[in-house]
Amino acid sequence: MKARIYVTLKNGVLDPQGAAVKHALGTLGFQGVEGVRQGKLLDIELAATDRAAAEAELAAMCDKLLANTVIEDYRVEVLSE
């Protein structure tokens, strides 16, 4: 089963990496960029075949390792069986 996890910074959390990208885009001549926030993307291949069980396991992975839930939000998406 294939799944994708999106980890993004919560609103209000400072994102220096995003700010650096925004600045770099400006120096390259891309005007009109009002904000950039950078996050993480994880494509996970699971042996599990039950969708609900897989979603629960992926959420547990995020809570324990993949996301810092103090400053980050995550979203789990199961793509295919």
What residue ranges bind a copy of itself (CB under 8 A)?
6-8, 18, 21, 24-25, 28, 30-48, 57, 60-61, 64-66
For residues 31 and 70, which CB has a smaller minimum distance to a copy of itself in the complex?
A: 31
For residues 34 and 70, which CB has a smaller minimum distance to a copy of itself in the complex?
A: 34
For residue 4, the cross-strand partners are 43, 77
For residues 44 and 78, which CB has a smaller minimum distance to a copy of itself in the complex?
A: 44
Residue found by looking up tokens 């009002």 in the block = 34
For the stretch 3-28, what's the b/e string if a residue is b when 16 or more beta carbons lie within 10 angstroms of its beta carbon?
bebebbbeeeeebeeeeeebeeeeee
* Residue 76 C-beta: closest distance to a copy of itself, Å: 14
Distance, CA of 2 to CA of 31 (rounded, Å): 37
